[in-house]
Amino acid sequence: MDLRRAGGRVSRRARILVLPGDGIGAEIMPHAVRVLERACPDIELDFEYASIGGAALDSDGVPVTDATLALARAADAVLLGAVGGPQWDDLPMDRRPERGLLRLRSELDLFANLRPAILFAPLASASSLKPELVADLDILIVRELTGGIYFGEPRGVTVGNGGRRGFNTYVYEEREIERIARVAFDLARKRNGRLVSVDKANVLEVTQLWREVVTEVAADYTDVALEHMYVDNAGMQLVRAPRQFDVLVTGNMFGDILSDVAAMLTGSLGMLPSASLNAGGQGLYEPVHGTAPDIAGRNIANPLATILSAAMLLRYSLDAPEAAERLERAVAAALADGLRTADIMPQDGGSEVTRVGTDGMANAVIERLEEDR
Ligand code: NAD
Ligand code: IPM
Ligand code: MN
């Protein structure tokens, strides 16, 4: 990010690469950009746009181009909608929209994926769980994002005498486990000092190594209480008593699954943001949800996961924690005033809430931002 002297005062500029993607990703993005523009008046944001996912397949024949990856590398931060959709589901695996996102994560080495699951108090009645189980819920899932079974080789489907055979490789190097563990321990140390590492060490050697390495790293963090949990139990505990968790650290696939589960505790998948960071401090910010083909194009998708991802962008990539908090306060205020997209309506229907669309929710956040100056 540049610091430039303009008329005697320091004004900051930042380059943001916007990758809207497909489905509700592309639908929400203009609203999220409107919100982000108003969230940090002190920083001049230069937005650049490029295609990814199905949109890039349609325009360029590949799910992400080298030119887009170069733009991402050069940007201060990347804000992404979501990729994928039924119209591209029959393509060979290496040409699917999702590969564009995986390549972006991998080539920028964005190994640390932070997925906070926080309950906004007014949404307790929208949670899948009883309100008393989720009151004040504040969990952080730290998902390893550039390794594990998502990227392991060999992979494929072959045809042999016994018929077709599909295979993937679940592999982690010690250094990959160690660096994500350190990120999780550092974050746990700044929070409540409790870390649960999730694995399947009773069955899979690769996660036996995961458990060993996390235990070794723990020696450098004697102020953090480390617990190990099998992934099946962790899934169960998340819906039984989620407040037992503070920070969870886990591999790529388990983190993918557990974060969708955690989302429903907060009311909706439409509420969960994420930040994917590399060792150099670069970041990709995207909602945890996908392109929601079942509701796309109807102005009913919840934009808050993307808007809250923009708040994470302010915090982690633009070093603007006050702007991030102001934006999070604006989201909380819009919810406190009873505004709800369809997915976060109270389970009982609720008489004191007002249903709004994607645009209405973004407008409400902008109004609360302007009031909080
Ligand atoms: P999904 O997250 O798109 O949707 C799951 C369910 O949650 C749907 O019923 C959807 O309507 C609802 N939902 C999701 N986001 C919402 C929001 N903001 N507001 C209201 N409701 C919301 O998952 P899926 O249906 O399994 O996948 C659809 C496509 O999205 C697939 O192509 C998949 O690969 C892709 N996907 C992409 C990402 C990403 O780009 N990061 C993440 C997940 C899925
Ligand atoms: C997510 C998504 C992606 C993943 C897909 C779209 C590649 O589900 O970000 O959670 O599995 O990581
Ligand atoms: Mn997912």
In this structure, which amino acid lies at residue 250?
T
pLDDT of residue 2: 56
Higher pLDDT, 346 or 369: 369
- Asked if residue 16 has pLDDT above 80, the reply is yes
- Over residues 203-207, mean pLDDT: 98
pLDDT of residue 6: 47
- Over residues 39-67, mean pLDDT: 97
> Closest ligand 1 atom, CA of 305?
18
The closest ligand to the CA of 252 turns out to be 2
pLDDT tens-digit map of 68-104? 999 999 999 999 999 999 999 999 998 999 999 999 9
Pick the catalytic residue from 46, 232, 337, 372: 232
pLDDT of residue 5: 47
Q: From the CA of 24, how far away is ligand 1's center (Å)?
A: 8
Nearest to 300 by CA among 264, 340, 342: 342
Using alpha carbons only, give the angle 81, 152, 140 rounded to the nearest 5 degrees. Answer: 50
Nearest CA to ligand 2 atom 12: 256
In this structure, which amino acid lies at residue 351?
S
pLDDT of residue 1: 56
Least confident of 125-134, 159-168, 328-337, 348-357: 348-357
Q: Which residue has the tokens 């991802």?
A: 309
d(CA 47, CA 28) in angstroms, rounded, equals 16
Half-sphere exposure in the Cβ direction for 253 (13 Å, CA): 16
d(CA 372, CA 367) in angstroms, rounded, equals 9
d(CA 28, CA 53) in angstroms, rounded, equals 16
Kindly state if the Cβ of 309 falls inside 6 Å of ligand 1.
Answer: no
> What is the residue-wise DSSP string for 200-251?
-TTT-HHHHHHHHHHHHHHTT-TTSEEEEEEHHHHHHHHHH-GGG-SEEEE-
pLDDT of residue 3: 53
Q: Which residue has the tokens 């610091």?
A: 3
- Over residues 166-175, mean pLDDT: 98
Nearest CA to ligand 1 atom 13: 292
d(CA 40, CA 259) in angstroms, rounded, equals 28
What residues line ligand 2, using a CB cutoff of 6 Å? 84, 98, 101-102, 256, 288, 290
pLDDT tens-digit map of 220-250? 999 999 999 999 999 999 999 999 999 999 9
pLDDT of residue 8: 43
| CB neighbour list of residue 306: distance below 8 Å, 6 or more residues apart | 25, 28, 29, 31, 32, 79, 81, 273, 286, 287
- Asked if residue 24 has pLDDT above 90, the reply is yes
- Known catalytic membership, residue 246: no
Q: What percent of the chain has pLDDT over 70?
A: 97
The pLDDT confidence band at residue 173, using thresholds 50, 70 and 90, is: very high
- DSSP percent split of the chain into helix, strand, coil, nearest 5: 45, 20, 35
- Known catalytic membership, residue 343: no
pLDDT of residue 95: 93
Nearest to 366 by CA among 78, 56, 144, 33: 33
Our mutation pick for probing the ligand 2 site, out of 22, 52, 89, 102, counting the most ligand atoms within 8 A of Cβ, is 102
